[in-house]
Structure 1
Amino acid sequence: MNRPVSVGLVVLVILASVAGISGSVASATAGPTDPSATEPALAERQVETTADAADSSPFVSQEAQNFDNRTFDITIYENGSATWTFRYERHFANEENETEAEANFETFIERFEANETGLYDQFINRSRLLTEAGSAETGREMEATDFRRSARIEEWPSKRGVIEMSFTWNGFAAVNDGTVVAGDVFQDLYLPPGQAIAYEAGGDLTFRSIEPNGEYAGNSLESANSVQWNGQQQFVDGRPRAVLERPDSAAAGSGSGDPITAMTGADIVWYLVAGLLVTGIGIAAVVWYRRYGPGADDPAGGAGAAERSSESTRPPAATHAGASTPDADATPDSDDAAPLTDDALMTDEDRVVKLIRENGGRMKQVNIVDETGWSKSKVSMLLSDMEDDGTISKLRVGRENIISLEGFEPEATKSPFDE
């Protein structure tokens, strides 16, 4: 009986499918046959063959020579979905002929963007195989959507060719009462040297724990935006694992938040009952007073009370001509109301443009989050829309996004065809 294809082994196949694409354009289409999602036995045999032959296959060894770094970036969101980005870097300075290597990569970019290499179709097929393997392992419903690709040459900090292919993995992480747990889809995951896998906290999520220990920037895990594990490393089943949660969920769970949030259902019911009792007693007291209180037997009592009430609400007479009543004096003049500021009339896009311009035309995305006070997810979506509109440009440098206005872009964001 065939066992389910593990996510760890399918990852090896996706790695192998990118083998040799920057060594020469011709080798970009020399990948293994696409495994069909409807043929799990065939897919399993192909994956196992790739894993067993990792040391001897010239195909895999060619990949190791052509790419200096390979990273899996996994951004995890509150609903359990995740954006998987496969990033491959080739440093031209490591080549015997740097100019020729760069020219070959530029040729590959044209074919890759036109989908003439078939590499992108292989990536889509194997990404779907990943989600099927994860669903079989965890029992959760999963789906691969929102496929994207890009290929470019980056100038900073060193000149290199970069390939990125990404997709959204719906149902990647388990969600329970605001806590998001990632990692249960992995089985037999192995990272060779020169490869890394990284978890990034998306939206308002923060890291609570990780297994095994990984690398992160900052004084504490809770303040880190991402955690990375580097190869060479063999993971046990269900690892690497990360537990994430919203800051407000952590406060409620620790009991340090608003005491109202810690009330049980029974507590709330008793508070409601007590409130109704107090209201009922107050109404009964008013009715009793009107029926049996002082003046209840006086036929004119009602009229007198009405007259006194009318007098109490009547405004006092003016003491001299031109005097105004207190109510009139208390009414604010609409002309004296504070005018709206320019910032209040600005759109979110205008605020970001103004902020970047005030900082010299270029800022890190994380600094925009800090300056505006908006959430990371809001800033990310807003910047993506602005990039689509051509308002700004993005440059990814390591784990950072550099946001630039037109005319302030680093050399890395310029197309090789601008010349």
Structure 2
Amino acid sequence: MRIKPRSDGDARWNVSMQFALTDENETAAFERMGEDFENGNLNSGSVSLSAKTFRAIARQEQAATGRQMQIRNPQRNYFVSNDTGTLSLTFIWTNFTRVNGDRLYLHDVFLYNDGESTWLRSLSEKQTLVIEDPDGYRILDSNIGHNNGTISVSGSSESARPLPELLDVTYTEKDTSGPTENSFPYEYAAGFLALVGLTGAGVYAFLQRDDDDDELVVDSDPVDGQPVPPEPDPDDDPEPDLDLLSDEERVEHLLKQNGGRMKQATIVKETNWSNAKVSQLLSAMNESGRVDKLRIGRENLITLPGEDITDFDTDE
């Protein structure tokens, strides 16, 4: 389960189940099940992944917390990656956290009316709960560890006790005020070091230059009184000449321009190549590890290696 709270108290949920696929028969059977799942025709007894379950919980939590709650925009998807099939259910749970001024409180939504019992008692060995921090917020107080604002709890001896005893998190808005006039902006140090790494010898030479401005020679009389145009920045990344790129490089360039993922049909349209050529090229790139090729419903999704597709929308 992956939860991302929002500033208005709502939260985006992504609940997924994975299945090991050992041969073509199991893959074909999973794809049939995935199509039934997407169409809402899967027998509820086959897979315990249903928006109805969370609607029932939301009604109970509405009574317990006094906040109006709904499960909105449920979407069901499935995809196959290598030897793993995944069913994914995403939805918005309204008023999931309690909002008070610039703070969000995550705790009471896991508890029933008595304030002690819970609907999320524990995680099994193969289950994981991930809670991301809301955009524009940071963790102010938490009784469980986190990594850069992301809480991750896996089924283990620690999570065998009821989860709400572990989950009590307060978020506050990030401080967006700038540095004072005489203070050094230390928060920008990492970006500055990255800039040094990118610009290499050019920046190094600039930093090593004597501060004496007398050593700089400037022509104060531009030709015909026109200002001297600035020299191009050597660090600018010009648009590559597509004619000079290999087919593989062109696909990678397209993926980078589109957030790291594209549908195969969109690549065909953008490149004006044939379906057969694109299919063969992408299969070869998948084999060499240059892209990942996933089957989502009736679509092929192509991503750069390591790209997160858990929030993929089939309509995008």
- TM-score, normalization: structure 2? 0.54
Cross-structure match for 2:194: none
**Alignment correspondent of 1:107:** 32
Distance 1:122 1:386, change over 3 A: closer
Distance in 1 separating the partners of 2:171 and 2:127: 24
Deviation at 1:385, TM superposition (A): 11
1:360 deviates by 5.2
The answer on whether the counterparts of 2:140 and 2:171 sit within 8 Å (CA) in structure 1 is yes
Q: For residues 83 and 417 of structure 1, do their structure 2 counterparts lie closer, same or farther at Cα, with a shift above 3 Å needed?
A: closer
1:135 matched residue in structure 2: 62
Between the aligned partners of 1:334 and 1:132, the Cα distance in structure 2 is 72
The whole-number CA distance in structure 2 between the counterparts of 1:121 and 1:105 is 15
Aligned match for 2:138, one of 190, 201, 206: 206
User: What is the aligned counterpart of 2:99 among 168, 172, 175?
Assistant: 175
CA 154–360 in structure 1, closer or farther in 2 if over 3 Å, else same: same
Alignment CA distance shift 1:89-1:411 (3 Å): same
Q: Secondary structure at the match of 1:201?
A: coil
Q: Which residue of 2 aligns with 1:164?
A: 88
Deviations along 1:54-77, whole A, 9 cap, x unmatched?
A: xxxxxxxxxxxxxxxxxx111112
Q: CA deviation at 1:209?
A: 3.2
Structure 1 counterpart of 2:69, one-letter code: M
Q: Secondary structure at the match of 1:190?
A: coil
Within the candidate set 170, 175, 183, 1:243 is matched to 170
> For residues 112 and 83 of structure 1, what CA distance do their matches in structure 2 show?
20
Is contact 1:185–1:238 with CA below 8 Å preserved after alignment?
no
Residue among 77, 87, 110 paired with 1:150: 77
Which protein is bigger by CA-based radius of gyration? 1
- Counterpart for residue 41 of structure 1: none
Closer, same or farther in 2 for the Cα pair 1:99/1:121, shift >3 Å?
closer
Structure 1 stretches (4+) deviating beyond 3 angstroms?
A: 118-122, 236-239, 256-259, 333-341, 357-363, 382-392, 406-412, 414-419
Residues in 2 aligned to 1:178 and 1:196: alpha-carbon distance in whole angstroms: 29
Distance, in Å, in 1 between the alignment partners of 2:168 and 2:99 is 14
Secondary structure of 2:57's partner?
A: helix
| Aligned residue identity for 1:116 | N
Separation in 2 of the partners of 1:143 and 1:338?
A: 57
**1:336-375 deviations in Å (ceiling 9; x for gaps):** 676999x89x9xxxxxxxxxx7995598xxxx9xxxxxxx
CA distance in structure 1 between the partners assigned to 2:7 and 2:35 by the alignment:
37
Q: How far does the alpha carbon of each residue in 1:224-258 deviate from its partner, in whole angstroms, 9 at most, with x for none?
A: 44433434522265652222233317xx8xxx976
Residue 185, structure 1, aligned to residue 117, structure 2: no
Q: Secondary structure at the match of 1:228?
A: strand
Identity value in percent = 16
Number of residue pairs aligned between Structure 1 and Structure 2: 220
Residues 144 and 167, structure 1, Cα contact 8 Å, conserved in 2 = yes
What letter corresponds to residue 6 of structure 2 in structure 1? Y
CA deviations over 1:125-155 (Å, ceiling 9, x no partner): 2222222222211112222212111111111
CA shift, 1:83, in A, is 0.6
Instruction: Report the Cα distance in structure 2 between the residues aligned to 1:388 and 1:243, rounded to whole angstroms.
Output: 42
1: distance between equivalents of 2:128 and 2:15?
10
Q: CA deviation at 1:173?
A: 0.8
* SS at structure 2 position matched to 1:149: strand
CA RMSD of aligned residues (A): 4.7
Contact 1:77 1:202 survives alignment (8 Å): yes
- Separation in 2, partners of 1:111, 1:239: 37
Within a 5 Å distance, the mapping from 1:23-102 to structure 2 comes to 72-93=1-22, 98-102=23-27
Question: Comparing both chains, which one has the higher relative contact order based on Cα–Cα distances under 8 Å and sequence gaps of 6 or more?
Answer: 2
Q: Supply the distance in 1 between the matched residues of 2:41 and 2:296 (Cα, whole angstroms).
A: 20
Q: Gapped runs of 5+ residues in structure 2?
A: 112-117, 182-220, 240-248, 269-280, 301-316
TM-score, structure 1 length as denominator? Answer: 0.42
In 2 relative to 1, CA 150–80 (structure 1 residues): closer, same or farther, beyond 3 Å? same
Report how far residue 417 of structure 1 moved.
Answer: 6.7
Unaligned runs of 5+ in 1: 1-71, 260-328, 347-356, 369-381, 393-405
Residue pair 2:3, 2:130 contacting (<8 A) in 1 also: yes
Distance 1:133 1:181, change over 3 A: same
Q: In 2, Cα distance between the equivalents of 1:385 and 1:121?
A: 29
Which amino acid counterpart does residue 107 of structure 1 have in structure 2? R
Check the 8 A contact 2:58/2:71 in 1, yes or no: yes
> Is the alpha carbon distance of 1:86 and 1:417 closer, same or farther for their aligned partners in structure 2, counting shifts above 3 Å?
closer
SS in 1 for 2:109: coil
